[in-house]
Homo-oligomer: A and B are copies of this chain.
Amino acid sequence: MRIASQYRNLELIQQKTPLVVHITNNVTINDCANVCLALGASPAMSVDPSDVAELASYASALVLNLGLVDALSLEAMLAAGKAARAKGVPIVLDPVAAGATSTRRAASQKLLEELRPEIVKGNGAEIKFLAGQASRQRGVDSLDDEGLAEATAILASRYGIVVAATGPEDFVSDGQRTFRINGGTPYLARVTGTGCMVSSLVGSFAAVERDYLVAAAQGIAAMKLAGERAAGALLPGEGTGHFHIRLIDALSLLAPGDFNDEGRYSDVTA
């Protein structure tokens, strides 16, 4: 992957403070806003369908997260998504627990079909479900990540979109090229909402970078780098509470010059 643009993109976010509008879940909504601010973007959250559609129409990116989906939030997501679509605002869809219940299966497929988001970011079970493959999950957790690179490429190819899949290994694909993103830390799985935060970072990069494969990879790479730094900074007696805080610290201290992702991307195109 061409990554020369990465340094520029973090600089662009900090210069432009792009508006990243979210419909997200109330578990992680504070963290999603704070990671956008840490990176340099301007987050705005909304729930009312008319309100969020108006905000989305002049946003630089729209993030839709299914974490606490219900009939009202689905209506708001469709309204905001159509407003974004009409104005060329890129959409990031995070289909949380997509295959876990009939409500989520229906909502995630409806959003995928009707909005054709530029980027779908999910865990293994979510991506496999949307790719039409058997998937095993329990609540919000994926229980089977085998063959995930392939599922990522299949879903991307079928819809002509960019797909990012996170798990023990993370992948991004535009259906033609598929990359593994290296690094990270097991701590990221021990704080709720790190997956949601990745979607907010991906949205922030998509706000300034129209090569969405690059934007998705950079959002994930930024989270991995920050996670590695946060884990490395933990003092004796500090656990997941401090990892959470140090993760936001590390994102807020990322400088364009030190966002070195040398060796973070491996081409695994089948």
Interface residues of A (CB under 8 A from B): 17, 19, 21, 25-31, 33-34, 37-38, 42-48, 50-51, 54-55, 58-59, 67-71, 97, 100-104, 138-141, 190-193, 233, 237-242, 244-253
| Residue among A45, A104, A239, A251 having the largest count of chain B Cβ atoms under 10 Å | A239
Q: Which residues in B have their C-beta under 8 angstroms from that of A54?
A: 100-103
Q: Which residues in B have their C-beta under 8 angstroms from that of A38?
A: 190, 239-241
Docked CA distance A17–B252 (Å): 32
Q: Which residues in B have their C-beta under 8 angstroms from that of A67?
A: 45
Q: Which residues in B have their C-beta under 8 angstroms from that of A246?
A: 237, 241-242
Asked whether, in the complex, the Cβ of B34 is within 8 Å of the Cβ of A191, the reply is yes
Q: A47-B70, A139-B55, A241-B245 are in contact. Are A33 and B27 (CB under 8 A)?
A: yes
Q: Which residues in B have their C-beta under 8 angstroms from that of A50?
A: 101-103
Q: A50-B102, A190-B252 are in contact. Are A140 and B44 (CB under 8 A)?
A: yes
Distance from A202 Cβ to chain B, minimum over Cβ atoms (Å):
18
19 further interface pairs, Cβ-Cβ under 8 Å (given A50-B102, A55-B139, A244-B248): A17-B141, A25-B45, A28-B30, A30-B193, A33-B192, A37-B190, A37-B240, A42-B140, A43-B192, A44-B97, A44-B139, A44-B140, A50-B101, A51-B69, A51-B103, A55-B101, A237-B249, A240-B249, A241-B245
5 contacts between A and B (CB under 8 A): A34-B191, A37-B192, A55-B139, A241-B246, A244-B248
Docked CA distance A68–B73 (Å): 12
Docked CA distance A192–B41 (Å): 12
Docked CA distance A266–B138 (Å): 38
Instruction: List 3 tightest A-B contacts by C-beta distance, closest first.
Output: A241-B248, A44-B139, A239-B252
Asked whether, in the complex, the Cβ of A241 is within 8 Å of the Cβ of B237, the reply is no
Distance from A203 Cβ to chain B, minimum over Cβ atoms (Å):
13
Distance from A105 Cβ to chain B, minimum over Cβ atoms (Å):
10
